């Protein structure tokens, strides 16, 4: 079944060719500062806000952050959980994700089993997602006990993504890790895009409009950025990046 937030994302991908999502890490913000970031993201015409971080552990703080964002903007707020503590009843939806290249069953299915009853209780819309960590992998790779797929092995990323699709997952996410020194390279994005027909999300280390352009041209349907919006001296750069995603998507 496809819920309203999934329909919203698919509609915007169809209309704009590619969309931008803003990631806010609850660990790096207060409720007040998350509201300012959300306003900046919304003003820049990002399509939705994701909330989550690899080392975030306080459900109370997460609730406060999401409530502050929801009071400020109307665009959807989607949870991007690192664990069962990443669930909040105040969000509009949750990436219900499995870290496909983790060696730890907890991140493949354990956390999902523990979190499922709470998600049902809160009536949160689930967006099923195959999450694949590549390249440096960053903190997400370490915390999630992943064996990151090297950038030199695009075909391995492609078969992970294909397996996700065959398992019925509706989205695939290629994650380079927040703050990665090199975003996911074009040849890996192309190989994955060629293998699947579900929407492809790409994130990690994208901090310029040129880099955003490269990942959209290679085939990303959704571009996620986190760090760039927090760099206050880069207000215009963020706006330009979001605009580039849409412009290249429709080109
Ligand atoms: C991390 O892909 C996201 O999950 C965002 O990464 O913070 O490097 O933009 P950045």
pLDDT in tens, 162-197: 999 999 999 999 999 999 999 999 999 999 999 999
Low-confidence ranges of the chain (pLDDT < 50): none
The first and second tokens of residue 59, run together, are: 């459900």
Nearest to 229 by CA among 20, 21, 22: 22
Which residue CA neighbors atom 4 of ligand 1 most closely? Answer: 178
In the chain, at which residue ranges do the beta strands (DSSP E only) sit? 19-24, 48-51, 77-79, 93-99, 125-133, 171-175, 200-203, 222-225
The pLDDT score that the predictor gives to residue 5 is 98
CA 182 to ligand 1 center in whole angstroms: 11
State the pairing for strand pair 48-51/77-79: parallel
Gyration radius (Cα) of the chain, Å: 16
Third-level CATH fold of 4-250: TIM Barrel (3.20.20)
Structural contact between residues 80 and 129, judged by C-beta atoms closer than 8 angstroms: no
Task: Give the pTM.
Answer: 0.97
Can you tell me which atom of ligand 1 is nearest the CA of 202? 2
CA nearest 129: which of 100, 104, 150?
Answer: 100
175 lines ligand 1 (CB under 6 A): yes
Handedness of CA 31, 35, 37, 41 (dihedral sign): positive
Nearest CA to ligand 1 atom 1: 178
């Amino acid at each position: 079944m496809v819920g309203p937030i999934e329909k919203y994302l698919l509609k915007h991908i169809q209309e704009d060719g590619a969309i931008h999502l803003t990631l806010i890490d609850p660990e790096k913000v207060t409720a007040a500062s998350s509201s300012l970031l959300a306003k900046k993201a919304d003003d820049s015409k990002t399509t939705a806000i994701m909330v989550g971080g690899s080392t975030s552990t306080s459900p109370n703080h997460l609730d406060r952050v999401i409530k502050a964002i929801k009071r400020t903007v109307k665009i959807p707020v989607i949870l991007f959980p690192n664990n069962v503590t990443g669930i909040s009843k105040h969000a509009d939806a949750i990436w219900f994700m499995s870290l496909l290249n983790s060696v730890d069953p907890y991140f493949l299915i354990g956390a999902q089993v523990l979190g499922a009853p709470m998600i049902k209780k809160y009536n949160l819309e689930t967006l099923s997602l195959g999450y694949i960590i590549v390249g440096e992998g960053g903190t997400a790779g370490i915390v999630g006990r992943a064996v990151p797929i090297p950038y030199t092995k695009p075909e391995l990323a492609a078969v992970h993504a294909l397996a996700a699709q065959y398992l019925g997952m509706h989205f695939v996410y290629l994650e380079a890790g927040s703050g990665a020194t090199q975003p996911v390279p074009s040849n890996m994005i192309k190989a994955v895009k060629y293998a699947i027909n579900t929407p492809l999300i790409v994130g990690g280390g994208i901090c310029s409009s040129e880099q955003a352009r490269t990942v959209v041209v290679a085939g990303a349907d959704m571009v996620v950025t986190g760090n760039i919006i927090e760099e206050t001296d880069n207000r215009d750069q963020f706006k330009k990046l979001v605009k580039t995603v849409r412009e290249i998507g429709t080109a």
